[in-house]
Amino acid sequence: MYALIDGNSFYASCERVFRPDLRHRPVVVLSNNDGCIVTLTAEAKALGLKRGTPLFQVKDLIKRHKVAVFSSNYELYGDMSSRMMAIIASFVPEVEVYSIDECFANLSGLKNLTSLGFEIRSKIFQWIGIPACVGIAPTKTLAKYCNHLAKRVPALKGVLNWNDLTPERQKKALACQRVGEIWGIGAQLSRRLEKLGILTPLDLSLASEGLLRECFPINVIQTARELRGLESIEFEPEAPLRQRILRSRSFANDVFDKNDLLSAVTMHAEEAAGVLRKERLRAKRVGIFILSNRFKLESPSYVGVDSVDLGTYVCDTPTVLNHAVKLLDRLFKPGIAYKKAGVVLEDIKPQEETAFDLFAFEDEKKSTLSAVLDDLNAKYGSGTICFSAVKRSSEDWKMRRAMKSPSYTTRFSEVLKV
């Protein structure tokens, strides 16, 4: 048996923990660059606001109803997330962290699962102030679905155990939502399924496997099996080795100057290389991309993407940076209104699985340098030391973040004063 536990409106709930005055007020959290709404509380949904809506389209509504608006504060959400995961891990033998706000828990060997669900839920609320919901079921897909229902049916009080339902009620539960609400069935697949008359999760669970095989990829068959209670999607407590590291940001304003792009690419390269070292990995392929403003129809659109194989596995900033800058030289075209740039590291291995190049004496120097930079930035705050290209440009490329809350839990200078 598995549980899927997630924080309700997680980012907004994190903000509320430190702003009790917002408890009953609508709250929304924005994407980077203060662009779109990415998280909303129930009160905000009730006003008709939707996830994904650009902020500027709903400015009036937000003003009229005094909606509290926050820029994203990943320092805070990341820290609250690890606290929540730690609480959950203290109750169950194994946890698979699935995203910043949710995890699967392996419940094998445990008893009284429903009351355990309630206990976990109330401990999370008591200890860190985040409201959470719990779905419990024999497969991950069903646990996810139970969680979905627990969030929507107030009578369940935040916890639903599939095995508490009679077979009749299980059928009803599967028939009461649209097929697109199932984990793994997105807009495209649900449209195709609905054309075949498969409208609800129940329909999908009863569909003939032969038909599904003919018309859909393998994951749809697995999902259908999981809905029947047959485990087809593995529980993975160990995070699989990541395959890529990507850092990118949209710019606050359109950028035309190559120096601005250089600054952005430099910053992303530094950060991406920093992730490599933090996770004790090395990468063999470095790529960048620069994109024009896709909403500006009157100016030329441009997608510049390229990457280079380094021949050896590296994790130092100077090497990554060097290649990123060379790629920018190749891709840059003048006269384009650029809106976004990013750096991608691929072909990744753990450090201990990669051999240093025996004759590359410089490698060790660069690694030492990078380690020193990491230490200084860890001790005195990120950005204390950086490569000069980052500072050698205008402000256009930087991110907009006008309504960010303090880093209450991770910076002494920003701790809440009472």
Please select the residue that binds DNA; options are 56, 359, 361, 412, rule is CB under 7 A.
56
Tally the residues of the chain: 418
Query: For the window 360-389, what string marks contact with DNA as x by the rule CB under 7 A?
Result: ------------------------------
**What's the CA dihedral at 224, 243, 96, 374 to 10 degrees?**
-160
Under rule CB under 7 A, which residues in 135-194 are in contact with DNA? Answer: 144, 182-190
Q: What is the Cα Rg of the chain in Å?
A: 24
Q: For residue 362, what are the contacts with CB-CB under 8 A and spacing of at least 6?
A: none
Please select the residue that binds DNA; options are 246, 386, 390, 403, rule is CB under 7 A.
246
Q: How far apart are CA 240 and CA 317, in angstroms?
A: 24
Q: Are 254 and 336 in contact (CB under 8 A)?
A: no
**Closest CB to DNA among 303 and 369?**
303
Please select the residue that binds DNA; options are 9, 13, 33, 317, rule is CB under 7 A.
33
- Closest distance to DNA from the beta carbon of 18 (Å): 21
Please select the residue that binds DNA; options are 54, 129, 131, 229, rule is CB under 7 A.
54
Which of these ranges, 93-101, 194-202, 383-391, 405-413, lies near DNA under the rule CB under 7 A?
A: 93-101
Given the structure tokens 């899927």, which residue do they identify?
Answer: 4
Asked if residue 98 binds DNA (CB under 7 A), the reply is yes
Asked if residue 323 binds DNA (CB under 7 A), the reply is no
Nearest to 33 by CA among 382, 303, 340, 390: 340
Instruction: Count each helix (H run) and each strand (E run) in the chain, helices first.
Output: 14, 12
Query: For the window 342-361, what string marks contact with DNA as x by the rule CB under 7 A?
Result: x-------------------
DSSP conformation letters of 13-28? HHHHHT-GGGTTS-EE
Binding residue count for DNA, defined by CB under 7 A = 48
- Closest distance to DNA from the beta carbon of 48 (Å): 17
Q: Is the C-alpha dihedral spanning 141, 237, 246, 409 positive or negative?
A: positive
Q: How far apart are CA 318 and CA 277, in angstroms?
A: 13
Query: For the window 207-226, what string marks contact with DNA as x by the rule CB under 7 A?
Result: ----------xxx-------
Asked if residue 52 binds DNA (CB under 7 A), the reply is yes
Lookup: tokens for 159: 């916890």
**Interacting residues with DNA (CB under 7 A):** 6, 31-33, 35-36, 38, 52, 54, 56, 98-102, 144, 182-190, 217-219, 240, 242-250, 253-254, 275, 293, 295-296, 339-340, 342, 399
